[in-house]
Amino acid sequence: MSEYTKVFLLMGSPKGEKSVSNNIVSYILEKFHENGVKAEKIVIVKQVRTDDALNKLVSKAIDSDILILVSPLYVDSIPSITIKVLEEFYKLTKNSLRKKQKFMAIFNCGFPEPHHNDLAMDMCKKFASDSGLEWAGGVTIGMGPSLDGRSLEKFRMARNLCNGLDIAVEALMKGESVPREAMLIASKPLMPLSIVKFVMCNFGRFLWGNQMDKSVKKKMYDRPYES
């Protein structure tokens, strides 16, 4: 049994339970439950509609031993609804003496390379520092849409992600931070980047072209301000 008895997972996708972030949360939640650790998931988009609901969410987050945020990357940042929760958490905890509490973040993006999540991860590190939380580490995931609607355990391409998350969960249950090994394994591209870029450049261009209005398509390569 872990010395940490309360784990709180914040699912930060505005898409709610039909999202890649929720698939990741479900996997982590199951791993904690398998080890007898009390873990709870909160879908943020359902809990920010009223001030009362938001306050209840933040109160639960403050009471946890381990706080884990799982979120998509929106415009190189954290979704606004999730920022709202983090800001409220900070307001209620700044300058207060509290129990030791760990904070971990997991971000996924649509870009092939996981490093596009780095800015959002830095924001979470800053949040942890300002809020008196112990930063436990983070995982960055590229090609997030490929995980949509899939069980991570049954998806062969996600085996590195699952292995990395397993190591992370095990470390957190021991009261440790997430090992660098876990971060590196979980953040490995789901397939070779050369293949991904080829597919995106060729088939992506074709798909976007089909969705584009014909009048716009004719002008797509115009350079009206070129001298």
- Per residue in 123-179, pLDDT (tens digit) is 999 999 999 999 999 999 988 888 887 788 878 778 899 999 999 999 999 989 999
- In this predicted structure, what is the pLDDT of residue 119? 95
pLDDT at 226: 81
Residue 199 counted as domain residue: no
When comparing pLDDT for 208 and 87, which is higher?
A: 87
Q: In the 8-state DSSP scheme, what is residue 110?
A: S
pLDDT, tens digit, 9 for 90 and up, residues 33-67: 998 898 999 999 988 888 888 988 998 899 899 99
Is residue 210 assigned to a domain? Answer: no
Condensed to tens digits (0 to 9), the pLDDT of residues 5-29 reads: 799 999 999 998 889 999 999 999 9
Asked whether residue 224 is assigned to any structural domain, the reply reads: no
Q: Kindly state whether residue 208 falls inside one of the protein's structural domains.
A: no
The answer, as to whether pTM is greater than 0.85, is no
Q: Is residue 226 part of a domain?
A: no
Count: domains in the chain: 1
Residue 203 lies in a domain: no
Identify which has the larger pLDDT, 175 or 194: 175
Q: What's the domain range around 11?
A: 6-191
Single out the residue of 29, 27, 8, 26 nearest to residue 17, CA to CA.
Answer: 26
Which residue, among 67, 68, 79, has the nearest Cα to 13 in the 3D structure?
A: 79
CATH label of the domain that carries residue 105: 3.40.50.360
Would you say residue 154 lies in a domain? yes
pLDDT of the residue at 1: 45
Asked if residue 84 belongs to a domain, the reply is: yes
Q: Which helix (H) or strand (E) segment is 136 a member of?
A: strand 134-141
> What's the per-residue H, E or C state across 18-69?
CCHHHHHHHHHHHHHHHCCCEEEEEEHHHHCCCHHHHHHHHHHHHHCCEEEE
